[in-house]
Structure 1
Amino acid sequence: MKLERLMAITILLLNRKRVQAQELANRLEVSLRTVYRDLETLSMSGIPIVSYSGNEGGFEIMESFRLDRQMLSFDELHALFTALRGLQSTQAMKRHNMDRLLEKVGALVSKAEREHMADTDQVAIDLTPWTSGAASGALYEALHSAVQDKKLIRFAYTDGNGEETERRVEPQMLVLKGYTWYLHGYCLKRDDYRLFRFSRIRDLAILPDTFRRRSLPLAEVNERWEAAWRQESVDLVLRFTGKAVVAAMDQFDPADMERQPDGSLIVRTRHYYKDFESMIGFLLSFQTNLTIIGPARIAEAVRQSALDVAGLYEDEERGGRP
């Protein structure tokens, strides 16, 4: 406990110009007497702590002193700091743990470099999903705890076809892909590794049974991920107009795009999909601002799906008539 306090005091003093003893006592939840003893211990260990009296008094570390950051350059530290702030927008670490880690990294930067870092701060990473709530945070905490403690879990899961099954899983790791969290685990029902999307997990229960973690290299996890989303492919030629032009620019590779004199956009791309219905739904989302030039079977499938939707509301209209 004392070692943690000494480290916390050192980091605070390295990151702040001057800190009063009472503030240190409040933050560390100890007495003023303990703070003074800790400051004396740090001074005796070679850290140059200077005290100032008066209303603006307090303790600070000599300007010339900083922790040894070994082989990290300023640019590398800047990149590390930016990446950590990006992780701060996720649930990958508890907020107070992430704040503490940022303080430790900040302690490796001199005052002059810190000011330069603020002037050159040109990149921000925000991985926060557009929609999230307390329920998703609670699910993350529960799954993270199960992964750490190697506890078997049970939950109801709805797959891409809408089928719900009960799963018993050995949780291996949590994966953030884009804005979406997944659980990677060994499914005892399928007797193989599976990826489970958080939003499809229901009725999670952490069981008392523990398991021995299976060895699966991260590279193989990524290969399985790619295979799951690249089960089928089709070469598409699409023409976008109106507002769909901007939407297409968000979805497709610029190398596959060709702007037309009339303002429309032609996209020639190989589209990978996991199931046919999801791909058709994706194309339908562009509504009347998309023309499928080819292949004809995809155009026909989209046409038929649109007719099915229209027929659904026609049936409702007929049913409502006297």
Structure 2
Amino acid sequence: MRASRLVTLLLLLQNRGRMTAQQLAGELEVSVRTVYRDTEALAAAGIPLYGAAGHAGGYRLVDGYRTRLTGLTTDEAQAAFLAALPGAAAELGLGEALATAQLKLRAALPAELREHAGRVQERFLLDAPGWYGDADLTPHLAPVAAAVWGRRAAVLTYRRWRAPEEIERRVEPYGLVLKAGRWYLVAHGQSGIRTYRVDQILGFRPLEEFVMPDGFDLAAYWNGYLTEFRARLHSGEALVRLTPEGARRLGVRPASDGWTQARVPIESLDHAHGEFLRLGADIEVLEPAGLRDRIAATARTLAARYGA
């Protein structure tokens, strides 16, 4: 276990340059004291590793040093081919580069690992978009990606759902996220960091370069954004009774003796009205009263329409 951690520490420094003991401890999920012991062990083994104290200090490898401890395990080789997103790479204009990189990676692998990697591509396929609805048209994806990569500010024209429907903003693009087949731009503007759907960008004009702020973590921001989004999405709840089939379809643990009473989160009365009607006679809404009345009115209309 320690040998694997030492290799990981060495590769982190090789790929990222100077890192503090605290940063290394976070990446390796160990204590700072353990990092101190590991760096001492690497230095004792002859690795040209240097440490400096102070605010601008940290650990780094001597310039030009490259370790050869980069052999892939079977699991790592499989993950490298499974993680590739050919569709996304093609949208970004990197489809040919991805194919070439995979060929180079395959050629560099031992025969056994090449066989395992080939099995992954034969037996697993990632199709990210959902079943219903055509793929979003993203004519501005390439220039947006170029601005993200080149750290260039831009003026974007954006279509949103509330008035005014069309706005223009100067933004600093921080990153791109592909979620369920849809591209999102994370960018900083006059009102802070915001998320924009790329398919709703109507115009995009690159400007001058900008300096990325220290400490911004795209994955951490996105996870926080999703948490806030879900909290806003389910702002209320409903009290319902469910048959065993209704409980199964709604993802509620059924009672052992017939109907199950449960409180479930809802986005809005309009959304809950449509979703609960899908369950037909397998659900009875008890609260809120407004939702119960709306579903009852819909049921009466349906009964009259079908001559019941």
With normalisation by structure 2, the TM-score equals 0.57
Instruction: Name the counterpart of 1:7.
Output: none
**Kept after mapping to 2: 8 A contact 1:174/1:182:** yes
Aligned to 1:291: 283
Q: CA–CA distance in 2 between the matches of 1:306 and 1:192?
A: 43
In structure 2, the CA distance between the partners of 1:119 and 1:210, relative to structure 1 (3 Å rule), is closer
Structure 2 residue identity aligned to 1:171? P
Q: Structure 1 residues 234, 80: CA separation in 2 closer, same or farther (over 3 Å shift)?
A: same
The SS at the match of 2:115 is helix
| 2:165 counterpart of 1:167 | no
Instruction: Go from structure 1 to structure 2 and tell me whether the alpha carbon gap of 1:141 and 1:119 turns closer, same or farther (over 3 Å shift).
Output: closer
1:50-71 deviations in whole A, cap 9, x for unaligned? xxxxxxxxxxxxxxxxxx7734
Residue number in structure 1 paired with 2:114: 114
Aligned to 2:292: 300
Q: Distance in 1 between matches of 2:203 and 2:296?
A: 39
Tell me the TM-score normalised to structure 1 length.
0.55
| Identical counterparts, % of pairs | 16
Residue 79 to residue 95, structure 1, CA distance change in 2 (3 Å): same
For the residues of structure 2 that align with 1:210 and 1:288, how far apart are their CA atoms? 56
Secondary structure at the aligned position of 1:99 is classed as helix
Letter in 1 for 2:285: I
Q: Describe the SS at the equivalent of 1:208.
A: strand
- The 1:146/1:292 distance shift into structure 2, 3 A limit, reads farther
> Does the C-alpha gap of structure 1 residues 277 and 172 become closer, same or farther in structure 2, counting only changes over 3 Å?
farther
**CA distances 1:135-172 after superposition (whole Å, capped 9, x unpaired):** 7242321321222231312213213x575140313221
Change (3 A) 1:291 1:192: same
* Residue in structure 2 matched with residue 194 of structure 1 by the alignment: 194
Q: How does 1:72-91 map to 2 (within 5 A)?
A: 72-84=72-84, 87-90=85-88, 91=91
Task: State the Cα distance separating 1:78 from its structure 2 match.
Answer: 0.9
Greater gyration radius: 1
Match of 2:180 among 151, 163, 178: 178
Q: Please show how residues 50-129 of structure 1 align to structure 2 within 5 Å.
A: 70-84=70-84, 87-90=85-88, 91=91, 94-118=94-118, 122-129=123-130
Structure 2 unmatched ranges of 5 or more: 1-67
Equivalent pairs counted in the alignment come to 226
CA distance 1:142–1:277, shift in 2 (3 Å): farther
Q: CA RMSD in A?
A: 4.1
CA distance in 2, matches of 1:170, 1:72: 37
Q: Structure 1 196/116 Cα, relative in aligned 2: closer, same or farther at 3 Å?
A: closer
- The residue type paired with residue 180 of structure 2 is G
Shift of 1:222: 2.0
The match for 1:156 is: 158
Distance 1:75 1:290, change over 3 A: same
Q: Is the 8 A contact 2:140 2:201 kept in 1?
A: no
**1:88 positional shift:** 1.4
Contact kept, 8 Å, 1:237 with 1:294, in 2: the verdict is: yes
Q: Which runs of 5+ in 1 are unaligned?
A: 1-67, 315-322
Provide the rounded CA distance (Å) in 1 between the counterparts of 2:290 and 2:114.
Answer: 56
1:258 is aligned, of 254, 257, 261, to 254
Which residue of structure 2 aligns with residue 56 of structure 1? Answer: none
> 1:143 aligns to what?
144
Query: Given the superposition, is the C-alpha separation of residues 209 and 96 from structure 1 closer, same or farther in structure 2, using an over 3 Å criterion?
Result: same
Once the 2 structures are TM-superposed, how far is the Cα of residue 99 of structure 1 from its aligned partner? 0.8
